[in-house]
């Protein structure tokens, strides 16, 4: 029986040696890199990471190797396991602007998968059924349906009026309180939602006039005013009287006036308050007249018609309030 003698290909041996050498070099580089990251460049001491302050510090000499590192942990702090479990969360934060506070699932209306590809006919039918049942589960009773319609109306009006997110949250909370206190029977959902938006804007210091609110609402101005008085009285809302100065920045911005004109308009209104001119007058009319007078006093071009369009009041009102503001300054000896 003949013996077989196995011989190795010289090319394969050379390739294996190169692979081993490359592996050894890579391990050496990793060890060197690891040594560099764990050693202080100043004294060669041990380096530790301070997650609380976002710094990498030498444990021996105190040298700060790196600073302002990115904290990838949560934005909250917990001091025991129970508090950590309470604060831990996943997903978007809850919000009062949605009837379920954003805790439900939304199924996209576009019939596409995660890769953007269109679904087949059978899958489209399935997703349509899921959407229908999901919508039914989200609004289980009449109270939730009421809340869903009202919060959608608040969001629509706030967007049309350019109100910030905090006003929408406040309006939603006011409506929830009115719904819980059973203040809605005999009143329309749109009327109460509009009143809540009007109250929230005034409470946040970004007031809108009743005329502006009525333009974007689905109810009449008289109903908005009546419902607002009822809601404010029953819920004991702390709504301060509208300050004419709060309207000045918006009017001046829409007219393209300078900061000097804004400051001059505020000064005119402060002088009017000292003389008691503002008593019994519409804050919107006073603010519009102050902006118009300030533009003339600072040599900026604007017209009564332009101010009237922005403030949504008549030119006659602007002229009357304009003369009253200037008279107040003259009586104070400032003009």
In whole angstroms, what is the distance from residue 227 CA to residue 198 CA? 11
In whole angstroms, what is the distance from residue 293 CA to residue 264 CA? 9
Q: Which residues are annotated as a binding site for Zn(2+)?
A: 40, 43, 58, 61
Q: Which residues are annotated as a binding site?
A: 40, 43, 58, 61
Maximum distance among all Cα pairs of the chain, rounded to whole angstroms:
132
Asked whether the beta carbons of 84 and 78 are under 8 A apart, the reply is yes
């Amino acid at each position: 029986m003949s013996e077989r003698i196995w011989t190795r290909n010289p090319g394969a041996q050379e390739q294996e040696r190169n692979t081993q050498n490359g592996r050894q070099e890579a391990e050496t580089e990793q060890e060197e890199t690891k040594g560099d990251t764990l050693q202080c460049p100043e004294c060669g001491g041990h380096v530790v990471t301070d997650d609380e302050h976002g710094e990498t510090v030498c444990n021996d000499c105190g040298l700060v190797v790196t600073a302002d590192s990115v904290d990838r942990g949560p934005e909250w702090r917990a001091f025991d396991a129970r508090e950590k479990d309470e604060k831990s969360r996943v997903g978007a934060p809850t919000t009062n602007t949605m009837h379920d506070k954003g805790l439900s699932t939304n199924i996209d209306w576009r019939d596409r998968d995660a890769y953007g590809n269109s679904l087949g006919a059978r899958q489209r039918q399935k997703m349509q059924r899921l959407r229908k049942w999901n919508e039914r589960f989200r609004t289980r009773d009449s109270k939730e349906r009421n809340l869903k319609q009202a919060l959608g109306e608040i969001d629509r009006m706030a967007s049309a009026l350019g109100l910030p997110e905090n006003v929408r949250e406040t309006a939603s909370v006011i409506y929830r309180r009115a719904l819980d206190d059973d203040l809605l029977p005999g009143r329309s959902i749109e009327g109460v939602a509009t009143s809540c938006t009007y109250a929230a804007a005034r409470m946040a210091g970004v007031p809108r006039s009743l005329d502006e609110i009525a333009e974007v609402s689905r109810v009449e101005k008289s109903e908005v005013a009546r419902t607002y008085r009822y809601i404010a009285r029953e819920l004991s809302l702390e709504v301060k009287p509208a300050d004419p100065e709060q309207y000045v920045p918006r009017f001046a911005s829409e007219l393209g006036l300078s900061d000097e004109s804004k400051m001059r308009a505020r000064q005119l209104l402060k002088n009017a308050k000292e003389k008691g001119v503002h008593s019994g007058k519409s804050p919107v009319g006073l603010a519009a007249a102050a902006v118009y007078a300030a533009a003339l006093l600072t040599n900026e071009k604007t017209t009564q018609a332009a101010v009237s369009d922005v403030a949504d009041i008549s030119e006659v009102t602007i002229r009357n309030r304009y003369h009253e503001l200037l008279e107040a300054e003259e009586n104070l000896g400032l003009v």
